[in-house]
């Protein structure tokens, strides 16, 4: 069976939770990795996969026109398109495993390490500050061996990232129906045990507010306590991973203020599935909402 990419997996689960389907390099020239958006104290970005029906060059132009300076989860061969529009690639997808086949299984380690060895130097040279990987599906594995395997793999990966000044992000995801059923890294307790043990300034947690609200809530308290181990944020409305507006249960301006109060200097990428008839308007409204 063909393995789902992150985009395909998230597209499917996001659409299911909404009850609908989605609509039809030199270093001197590298973009500034921590440029602030003109809107707000947190540098906002946007996940490309949520807007895949819009051609990438057109989407880049629209993103830049609304004051955003970055785009998330682009494949390596897409980085130049965003950068040609003056956008930083805030987190690159370098095929270091998949959501299902991740750090917890030692069989995946050579693929993950190889992807980072190949692409982290390129990311560094091209001003891509972060790259992503995943904890993987449980498949009957107990937490103990899974955590040990994840730590072992990331300890091999950390020197690659440290040498290039690039950060490896490991994402915690929800494992409930409508999310990523059987994903093992579905709590901050699990993620923190791994990341703290690796203890590298270049290995951090990708804290997805949507996923962690679904799994455990207590968002502001959690991100405040764990802020030194968090390298990146994603947004999404709860329930349904739709717009982050008044239709959902989270108060995003308060969440953004809490993130800013931790001294966070990275990126917060919008990763919601727009369900309005005008997806770019939904994104623009989210950017304005979070400009606090």
pLDDT digits (tens, 9 = 90+) for 83-136: 999 999 999 999 999 999 999 999 999 999 999 999 999 999 999 999 999 999
Give dist(CA 76, CA 56) in Å, integer. 13
C-alpha–C-alpha distance, residues 137 and 183, integer Å:
4
Query: What distances in angstroms separate CA 68 from CA 64, 182, 185, one per listed residue?
Result: 5, 34, 30
Please give the structure tokens belonging to residue 63.
């993103």
Rounded Cα gap, residues 274 and 241, in angstroms? 9
Position 276 pLDDT exceeds 90: no
**What integer pLDDT is reported at residue 4 of this predicted model?**
46
Q: Where are the alpha helices (DSSP H) in 40-142?
A: 56-65, 79-84, 109-125
C-alpha 207/C-alpha 280 separation (Å) is: 24
Helix or strand (DSSP H, E) at 267: strand 267-270
Question: What's the whole-number mean pLDDT along residues 150-175?
Answer: 98
Q: Is the pLDDT of residue 34 over 60?
A: no
pLDDT at 144 over 70: yes
pLDDT of residue 32: 38
Provide CB contacts within 8 A for 48, sequence distance 6+: 56, 59, 71, 72, 73, 74, 78
pLDDT-based confidence at 7, cuts 50/70/90?
A: low
Neighbours of 169 (CB within 10 A): 23
Question: Would you say residue 8 has pLDDT above 60?
Answer: no
Torsion of CA 13, 176, 270, 130, to 10 degrees: -100
Name the nearest CA neighbour of 27 among 127, 120, 128, 129. 127
Instruction: Give alpha helix (H) positions in the chain.
Output: 6-18, 56-65, 79-84, 109-125, 143-164, 188-198, 209-215, 219-225, 252-261, 279-289
Please tell me the predicted confidence (pLDDT) of residue 277: 86
DSSP 47: B
Q: In the predicted model, what is the mean pLDDT of residues 57-81? A: 97
According to the model, what pLDDT value does residue 264 have? 96
In this predicted structure, what is the pLDDT of residue 58?
98
- Tell me the average pLDDT across 57-77: 97
Length of the chain: 292
Mean pLDDT of 231-259: 95
3-state secondary structure of 96: coil
* CA dist list (Å): 103 to 94, 107, 135: 15, 9, 5
Residue 178's pLDDT band (cuts 50, 70, 90): confident
β-pair type (230-235, 167-171)? unpaired
The residue with greater pLDDT, 216 or 24, is 216
What is each CA distance from 183 to 82, 186, 204, in whole angstroms? Answer: 31, 6, 18
In this model, does residue 39 exceed pLDDT 60? Answer: no
Per-residue pLDDT at 41 exceeds 90? no
**pLDDT computed for residue 35 by the predictor:** 39
Residue 18 has pLDDT above 60, yes or no: no
| Mean pLDDT to the nearest integer, 202-223 | 97
CA dihedral sign, ordered 50, 10, 132, 176:
positive
Q: Is the pLDDT at 168 greater than 70, yes or no? A: yes
What domains does the chain contain, in order, with CATH numbers? 6-289 (3.20.20.150)
């Amino acid at each position: 069976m063909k393995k789902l990419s992150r985009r395909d997996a998230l597209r499917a689960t996001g659409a299911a939770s909404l009850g609908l389907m989605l609509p039809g390099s030199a270093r001197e020239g590298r973009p500034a990795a921590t440029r602030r958006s003109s809107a707000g104290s947190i540098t906002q970005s946007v996940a490309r996969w949520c807007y895949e029906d819009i051609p990438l060059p057109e989407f880049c132009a629209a993103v830049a026109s609304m004051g955003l300076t970055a785009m998330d989860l682009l494949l390596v061969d897409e980085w130049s398109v965003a950068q040609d529009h003056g956008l930083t690639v805030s987190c690159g997808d370098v095929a270091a495993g998949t959501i299902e086949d991740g750090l917890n299984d030692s069989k995946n380690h050579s693929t993950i390490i190889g992807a980072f060895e190949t692409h982290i130097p390129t990311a560094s040279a091209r001003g891509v500050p972060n790259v992503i990987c995943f904890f993987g599906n449980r498949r009957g594995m107990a937490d103990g061996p899974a955590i040990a395997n994840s730590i072992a793999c990331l300890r091999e990966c950390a020197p690659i990232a440290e040498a290039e000044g690039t950060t490896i992000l490991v994402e915690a995801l929800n494992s409930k129906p409508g999310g990523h059923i059987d994903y093992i890294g579905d709590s901050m307790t699990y993620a923190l045990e791994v990341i703290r043990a690796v203890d590298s300034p270049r290995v951090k947690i990708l804290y997805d507010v949507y996923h962690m609200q679904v799994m455990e809530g207590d968002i502001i308290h959690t991100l405040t306590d764990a802020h030194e181990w968090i390298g990146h944020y994603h947004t999404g409305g709860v329930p349904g991973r739709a717009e982050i507006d008044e239709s959902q249960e989270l108060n995003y301006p308060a969440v953004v203020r809490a993130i800013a109060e931790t001294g966070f200097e990275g990126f917060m990428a919008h990763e919601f599935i727009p369900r309005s008839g005008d997806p770019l308007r939904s994104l623009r409204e989210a950017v304005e909402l979070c400009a606090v």
